[in-house]
Amino acid sequence: MLTGVRYWSKPGYTRIVVDLEGTPEFTTNVLPSDAKSGLPPRIYLDIKKIRPAPNLVEKTQVEDGLLRQVRAARFDPTTMRVVLDLVAYHSYKTFTLPDPYRIVVDVYGDEKAVLSAAPGPELRAAPPAEVKPAPPPAKIPAPLVAKKPVEVPRKTPMSGPAAGLRRIVVDAGHGGKDPGAVGPSGLKEKNITLALAKLLKTELERELGCQVILTRDRDVFIPLEERTAIANKVGADLFISVHANASHNKSAYGVETYYLNFSKNDKAAAVAARENGTSLKQVGDLELILFDLMANAKINESSRLAAEIQNSLVRDLKREYPDVRDLGVKQGPFYVLVGATMPSVLVEAAFISHKREETRLASRAFQQQTSAAIVKGVLNYASALRQVASK
Ligand SMILES: [Zn+2]
């Protein structure tokens, strides 16, 4: 059953999600614009052996400069056709997400449109139905070249946004019906990630003078594809997803930071499977299409950001907690990072499945130290950016 169409957009980028029940097969096709009949270019999906939900909205107006509208209608007795009526586009990517099954189409405009794209005002986490089209673009202030030294003393805010980091999206993993991993004493990952995200917002805003947007600021479920879409929509300069790790091996502990790429080992694949809410096989399937999806990913920047955050976490936490284990920077196919157009990382702060680390995760002191260390990592990343920019 085809139950609905959702979308998020900003200038030069639109993400469309087709919500389905079951796992129907589909094909994707493109029709070029037809000057003779005055028809615009179209992307369409033919979804087989499926029927529309009784309350399906057949036409969704988008009108964001890239996409005019999305139409869903029966093509033949067993096929639904979803048509994206475009105004113009440069490229598009399609991938699927399981449970519930949905098709994600990311449409990109030309480079110029993307570069001149301006973010809209602050966006709070909202249930899908409340997501509104992007507001009209606002003027971006000229980049500010900060003259502060590399080490910024704490509690001394910079005079303005650091090295072009004007807007950071912090994503508290899981939420609502998805508790994430649960510790031996019953501590839920979703509550820890929210506490960490709120601390990060306050600290990043104070230390970097930038705006921080949370994908959620309360205990609410947000689908993975919406989290990245929020970051793209608001034109974020960085995307940081915070999590707590878990393993069947109850003695596993430590801190690790991920960025989007092919998983290089089984452990990374297992972490991705857990965070994606999928099986290992589905992680393998995602890797098969990842080649195509990586075109817009900022891999080098993401790996640098991950390294700065990981180094800072290990160095700073070791002072208080000498037994902190450095599991290093890793790569994996995380759904929440797929399609992000800015440097983006996923931090696994500690193992909630490990008794000692579960106790730590629950303590305010550990949360504050973890958050402060991540902020320092972001500051170091920004400083390196500034040095590159001033050369
Ligand atoms: Zn998680």
Strand 211-214 versus strand 167-172 pairing type: parallel
What are the angstrom distances between the C-alpha of 220 and each of 124, 128, 170, 338? 12, 11, 15, 21
pLDDT at 169 over 60: yes
- Tell how far the Cα of 152 is from the centroid of ligand 1, in angstroms: 31
Taking residues 62-78, report their average pLDDT.
Answer: 93
Separation of CA 259 and ligand 1 centre (Å):
14
Cα(84) to centroid of ligand 1, in Å? 33
Strand ranges, E, within the chain: 2-10, 13-20, 26-31, 42-48, 59-61, 67-76, 79-86, 91-97, 102-108, 167-172, 211-214, 238-245, 255-260, 326-332, 344-351
Q: What is the 186 CA–ligand 1 centroid distance (Å)? A: 15
Terminal Cα-to-Cα distance of the chain (whole angstroms): 56
Residues of the chain with CATH 2.60.40.3500: 2-115
Half-sphere exposure of 342 (CA within 13 A, CB side): 26
Residue found by looking up tokens 């699927």 in the block: 96
State the distance from the centre of ligand 1 to the C-alpha of 274, rounded, in angstroms. Answer: 7
CA-CA-CA-CA torsion for 216, 221, 222, 224, nearest 10 degrees? 120
Q: Is the pLDDT of residue 111 over 80?
A: no
- With b for 16 or more beta-carbon neighbours within 10 A and e for fewer, the 102-134 pattern comes to bbbbbbbbeeebbeebebbeebebeeeeebebb
pLDDT on residue 161 = 57
Mean pLDDT of 47-55: 94
Cα-to-centroid distance, 180 and ligand 1 (Å)? 5
Is residue 106 pLDDT above 70, yes or no?
yes
Distance 312 CA to ligand 1 centre (A): 21
The Cα–Cα gap between 309 and 376 comes to: 7
The one-letter code for the residue type at 245 is N
22 C-alpha to center of ligand 1: Å?
A: 25
Q: What is residue 122's predicted lDDT score, i.e. its pLDDT?
A: 35
**Ligand 1 centroid to 171 CA: how many Å?**
11
List the 211-214 sheet strands across, edge first.
211-214, 167-172, 238-245, 344-351, 255-260, 326-332
**How far is CA 307 from its chain centroid?**
18
State the pLDDT at residue 265. Answer: 86
Q: How far is the CA of 236 from the centre of ligand 1 (A)?
A: 21
Is 289 or 157 the better-scoring residue by pLDDT?
A: 289
Residue ranges near ligand 1 (ion) with Cβ within 5 Å? 173, 180, 243, 275
Architecture in CATH for domain 2-115: Sandwich (2.60)
Ligand 1 centre to CA of 189 (Å) is 7
Tell me how far the alpha carbon of residue 390 lies from the centroid of ligand 1, in angstroms: 37
For residue 144, pLDDT beyond 50? no
pLDDT of residue 162: 61
Long-range Cβ contact pairs of 204-208 (< 8 A, separation 24 or more): 204/168, 204/170, 204/375, 204/378, 206/155, 206/157, 207/152, 207/154, 207/157, 207/158, 207/375, 207/379, 208/158, 208/161, 208/162, 208/165, 208/168, 208/375, 208/378, 208/379, 208/382
Ligand 1 mean position, distance from CA 226 (Å): 16
Question: What is the whole-number distance in angstroms between the Cα of residue 76 and the centre of ligand 1?
Answer: 41
Second-level CATH architecture of 144-390? 3-Layer(aba) Sandwich (3.40)
- How many CA atoms, within 13 angstroms, populate the side-chain half-sphere of residue 282? 17
How close is the Cα of 188 to the center of ligand 1, in Å? 10
- When mean pLDDT is compared across 128-142, 153-167, 241-255, 261-275, the lowest value belongs to 128-142
- pLDDT value, residue 137: 42
| Percent residues over pLDDT 70 in the chain | 86
What is the chain's mean pLDDT, rounded? 86
pLDDT confidence of residue 288: 78
Whole-number Å distance, alpha carbon 359 to ligand 1 midpoint, is 17
pLDDT greater at residue 137 or residue 66: 66
Rg over alpha carbons for the chain, rounded to the nearest Å, is 21
Mean pLDDT over residues 98-113, rounded?
82
Lowest-pLDDT choice from 105-114, 185-194, 349-358:
105-114
Please give the residue that has the higher pLDDT: either 21 or 147: 21
Using the predicted structure, report yes or no on whether residue 81 has a pLDDT greater than 50.
yes
Q: Where in the chain is the domain with CATH 3.40.630.40?
A: 144-390
Q: What is the pLDDT, as a whole number, of residue 151?
A: 40
- Higher pLDDT: 122 or 5? It is 5
Q: What pTM was estimated for this model as a whole?
A: 0.80
Give distance in angstroms: CA of 358 to centre of ligand 1: 14
For residue 275, how far is its CA from the centre of ligand 1 (angstroms)?
5
**293-302 average pLDDT score:** 84
* The pLDDT value given to residue 112: 52
Between the CA of residue 103 and those of 23, 96, 151, 265, what are the distances in Å?
10, 4, 45, 27
| DSSP structure string for 353-365 | TSHHHHHHHHSHH
- Residue 7 Cα to ligand 1 middle (Å): 24
Lowest mean pLDDT segment, chosen from 88-102, 223-237, 310-324, 366-380: 88-102
pLDDT of residue 391: 67
Question: What's CA 118's distance to the chain center, in Å?
Answer: 18
CA of 54 to the centre of ligand 1 (A): 35
| CA 313–ligand 1 middle distance (angstroms) | 18
* pLDDT-above-90 percentage for the chain: 68
pLDDT-based confidence at 155, cuts 50/70/90? very low
Size of the chain, expressed as the number of residues it contains: 391
**Angle, vertex CA 130, rays to CA 126 and CA 135, nearest 5:** 90
383 CB neighbour count, 10 Å cutoff: 19
Give the whole-angstrom CA distance, residue 237 versus residue 341: 9
Q: What is the pLDDT of residue 147?
A: 36
How remote is the CA of residue 276 from the centroid of ligand 1, in Å? 8
Tokens 């939420």 found at:
175
Ligand 1 centre to CA of 190 (Å) is 8
pLDDT for the residue numbered 259: 96
Residue 141, pLDDT above cutoff 50? no
More confident residue, 171 or 93: 171
Six-digit token pair at 97?
């997400």
Instruction: Report the separation in Å between the CA atom of 391 and the middle of ligand 1, taken as the mean of its atom positions.
Output: 39
Q: Could you tell me the distance, in angstroms and rounded to a whole number, from the CA of residue 160 to the centre of ligand 1?
A: 32
Q: How far apart are CA 331 and CA 311, in angstroms?
A: 16
Nearest to 7 by CA among 99, 85, 88: 85
Greatest alpha-carbon pair distance for the chain in Å reads 72
